[in-house]
Amino acid sequence: MIDRYLWLLLFFFVAQFANAQLAGSGTGQVKNELLVQLAQEASVTTLLQKINRQQPATAIHKRVAARRFNIHLLQFDPTAWPGESLLQWLRVQREVQAVQYNYAVAFRQEPNDPEFEKQWGFTRIGAEEVWNVSTGGLTANGDTIVVAVLDSGCDLNHPDLLGNIWNNSAEISGDGIDNDNNGYIDDTFGWNFVDDTNEMKVNGHGLAVSGLVGAKGNNGMGVSGINWDIKLMVCAIQYVDQIISAYEYVIDQRHQYNESGGQKGAFVVATNASFGLSTPTFCDEQPVWGGMYDQLGAVGVLTGAGTTNRNLDVDVEGDMPTSCESDFLITVTNMNEAEEKELSSGFGEISIDMAAPGQNSYSLYLFDRYAVFDGNSAAAPHLTGSIALLYSLPCEELASDALSNPRETALLIRSVLIDGVEPLSSLEGLTATGGLLNVYNSMELINEACGGTSGPIEILKIFPNPTSSSFIVEYETPDFETYDFRVYNALGQEMYRNTETPTRFSTKRLEIDTRNWAPGVYFVAIQRGKDREVKPVMVKVD
């Protein structure tokens, strides 16, 4: 009788609450949905049984948000679990790694004025100079570059996107079969995660974002994207759980590409985030969502994100996703034609990396037309498109590294974007770099270093020498191999030991602390197998 009673309660709960999202007014928080990330071996069924033992028939499993990461969307009865009681209870369960509320996201567009100048931002960030070298599309080794646009939808049939929409070659279009066994039937262009279908939502916001990243260039029609040729993987999203699923989709495609040497999956190098939450929120309050950026980075995918369209300090008040500290998330604020941060745009010396053109941008519009597109929704694709454009430079080493060392290469692209920023006094104190995205400067940084090192181990310089507190070793080695660093005193005793794996396109240097060493001569050694280089350094009394 008790089991039957519980089943009746559960049936009543499902009838009352299933698929009914109780979104908070103004915040976007879905008050009766929680995203839960479980330990890899943990069972969501067992967790639901525990919840329903605490409060009978009050929670159900709504959907798997990310199977790879064991992330699930649960729906519950908020009258039985008032306030944050279920959230707090879940946080202390051993099998729960992270938990947060589900949210509806807001797309970061502002009202526009069609009288403003068209596509001024591309020239301002140096894209035209880069186009003299590459206009996008392929790496130097022939890999087809893909950008994933997570947004409100798109118009896949806009004539200025012709040829630039990604095609999943592992799927046979229209046969009603999941040919690549990834859980999505006929996912030829990406997926509509909002309606869980392969029919894309037609929406102007996502269309404009897609156009800035990759409208077809040099075709005598309309506008150009930062990449004249590119493949856009389009994913429609509206809620955080759908963002999680879309990110997993991207990770799966890039992981397959990495593992198969380009025979399967897709070479996705970046995702675009022209969306966020309606209210200021810090990343640690969204641990499931925030944790996805490192997962994307692990397979070689960066994310370009625009901050809030509100004049607030993100470091103090928060913003999602731009308050997340992942090294694989690059963040921008919206700059206008006067080369100032647009008043209605967020800022932060820690959280916001740089500015990018956004206000009065010009892009694709519905009904095969074009229109002005504003806000951080326009700033973000300037950055995301630049990430993809850099991967297309004629540098074979860069292209090879992107497959053999995808994580490190993504970090390299991030570093040249940060180091290539053009300083502007108007942006001092408003972003981490105090400057503006400049993809031409970033290209020059890659070009200077392209080729890396394949020669012998060499210690180039040790300074200061003599030293009293520390010294720096500048060295050269073949890239992406592991080396042993040792320092010995005159008696042959080992004073220092470290192992490093140097990456390409960066100064190779190591600082060694000598404050507790006795004065005298020491010997610095770099070695790998039988290859070895040794040079002396003098430590003196301060």
User: pLDDT tens digit string along 275-312?
Assistant: 999 999 999 999 999 999 999 999 999 999 999 999 99
- Say if CB 299 and CB 251 are below 8 A apart: yes
Q: State residue 1's pLDDT score.
A: 43
Tokens for 314, please give them.
Answer: 């993100």
Position 9 pLDDT exceeds 90: no
Highest mean pLDDT among 2-16, 125-139, 440-454: 125-139
Contacts of 3 (CB under 8 A, 6+ apart): none
Rounded CA-CA distance 189/171 in Å is: 10
Average the pLDDT over 123-151 and give the result. Answer: 94
| 3-class DSSP assignment, residue 443 | helix
- Say if CB 379 and CB 335 are below 8 A apart: yes
106-449 classified as CATH 3.40.630.10: no
Nearest to 432 by CA among 446, 421, 443: 421
Written as one letter, the residue type at 453 is T
User: How many of the other CB atoms lie within 10 Å of CB of 505?
Assistant: 23
Give, in order, the Cα–Cα distances in Å from 453 to each of 105, 143, 200, 299, 481: 45, 23, 46, 24, 11
Q: State residue 479's pLDDT score.
A: 66
Nearest to 57 by CA among 74, 36, 80: 80
Cα 232 to chain centroid distance, Å, stands at: 15
Domain ranges of the chain: 2-103, 106-449, 458-539
Position 535 pLDDT exceeds 60: yes
- Say if CB 522 and CB 535 are below 8 A apart: no
Q: State residue 12's pLDDT score.
A: 47
Q: Could you tell me the pLDDT band of residue 20, with boundaries at 50, 70 and 90?
A: low
Contacts of 464 (CB under 8 A, 6+ apart): 471
Position 22 pLDDT exceeds 80: no
Highest mean pLDDT among 31-35, 126-130, 525-529: 31-35
Q: State residue 44's pLDDT score.
A: 97
Position 166 pLDDT exceeds 90: yes
Global confidence as pTM = 0.81
pLDDT digits (tens, 9 = 90+) for 462-475: 999 999 999 999 98
Q: State residue 25's pLDDT score.
A: 57
Nearest to 121 by CA among 383, 425, 310: 383
How many residues comprise the chain?
Answer: 542
Q: State residue 118's pLDDT score.
A: 75
Rounded CA-CA distance 352/11 in Å is: 47
Q: Could you tell me the pLDDT band of residue 116, with boundaries at 50, 70 and 90?
A: very low
Query: What are φ and ψ of residue 161, in 5° steps?
Result: -110, 0
Position 507 pLDDT exceeds 90: no
Average the pLDDT over 25-35 and give the result. Answer: 87
Average the pLDDT over 52-69 and give the result. Answer: 95
- DSSP for residue 274: -
pLDDT over 70 percentage in the chain: 91
Among 74-78, 111-115, 214-218, 342-346, the range scoring the smallest mean pLDDT is: 111-115
Q: State residue 119's pLDDT score.
A: 83
User: How many of the other CB atoms lie within 10 Å of CB of 227?
Assistant: 31
Q: Could you tell me the pLDDT band of residue 115, with boundaries at 50, 70 and 90?
A: very low
Which parts of 115-267 fold into alpha helices (H)?
120-124, 127-131, 204-214, 240-260
Angle of CA points 273, 277, 282, to nearest 5°: 95
Q: State residue 454's pLDDT score.
A: 54
- Say if CB 236 and CB 193 are below 8 A apart: yes
Q: What is the 3-state secondary structure (H, E, C) of 279-313?
A: CCCCHHHCHHHHCHHHHHHHCCCEEEEECCCCCCE
pLDDT over 90 percentage in the chain: 82
Q: In what order do the strands lie in the sheet with 71-76?
A: 59-66, 71-76, 29-38, 96-103
Written as one letter, the residue type at 242 is Q
Position 503 pLDDT exceeds 80: no
Among 38-52, 182-196, 276-290, 497-511, the range scoring the smallest mean pLDDT is: 497-511
Average the pLDDT over 234-253 and give the result. Answer: 98
- As a whole number, the mean pLDDT across the chain is 91
- Fold classified for 2-103: Alpha-Beta Plaits (3.30.70)
Q: State residue 7's pLDDT score.
A: 47
Q: Could you tell me the pLDDT band of residue 176, with boundaries at 50, 70 and 90?
A: very high
Position 132 pLDDT exceeds 50: yes
- Fold classified for 458-539: Immunoglobulin-like (2.60.40)
Nearest to 207 by CA among 368, 431, 35: 368
Position 112 pLDDT exceeds 50: no
